[in-house]
Amino acid sequence: MPATSSLDRIVIAIDGPSGSGKSTVSRRVAARLGLGYLDTGATYRAVAWAALDRGLDLEDGAALTALATSAVIEQSPDPTQDSVRIDGADVTQAIREQRISAVVSKVAGNLDVRKELVRRQQEVAARGRVVIEGRDITTVVAPDAPVRILLTADERARLERRARELHGTTDDAAIAATHDSIVRRDADDSKVASFLTAAEGVVEVDTSALGLDEVVAEVLRVVAERVPAAADLLERTP
């Protein structure tokens, strides 16, 4: 998508590893600018949930591809409302369960599944007025977006954030319980997606020592630099 001075066609592409804060930040940025929001990771989780629900072998690439191709996946574009459905089933909460986190990389690592889901994500990007976040958004889904950002954080910061989210504490036991879901998943996903280093033209924001409000402010600053209409909106509605 070519650069734009208007919010009508704007796409903000945000990548980052687990625990970098990309989902929360993306929702806040979308709400602030009056844009839609797409969590691409939820699509892979929804397919993983459906595969387990139907008793599919996650090593059966053809079966997974057939499922991803035929599935009707619906996500609310409202950044303040989390809603995910697949073939009519409400899986908003279910796809966040540990059993899904443990296997979603097998779904995301299927290149044919990725091709189908990326195609759908690119359709959303083509309509514009959206913040899209995930693993390879800045390089594959929306490489021509006027705003492309990679959120990063050191491993300890990411582990603490996810431990706090999942266990309500950052003690040693919680960190240990969280380690595999962060480090292993990122290692597995990095084999098929680019989200650990910033590609050319992508702005990197290290969130390790920043609070949520600070990260949101920094992302909005980058958006305002790249899209004059966004700068005007932010000035009018502080």
Residue 128 annotated in ligand binding: no
Residue 191 annotated in ligand binding: no
User: Please, are residues 95 and 45 in contact by the beta-carbon 8 Å criterion?
Assistant: yes
Residue 77 annotated in ligand binding: no
Residue 24 annotated in ligand binding: yes
- As to burial, measured by CB atoms within 10 angstroms (0-12 exposed, 13-18 middle, 19+ buried), residue 206 is middle
Residue 17 annotated in ligand binding: yes
Q: For residue 206, what are the β-bridge partners?
A: 152
Q: Which amino acid is at 27?
A: R
Nearest to 86 by CA among 112, 106, 107: 107
Residue 139 annotated in ligand binding: no
Which parts of the chain are beta strand (E)?
11-15, 36-39, 73-75, 84-86, 89-90, 130-134, 147-152, 203-206
Residue 19 annotated in ligand binding: yes
Which residues are part of a known binding site?
Answer: 16-24
Which residues are part of a known binding site for ATP?
Answer: 16-24
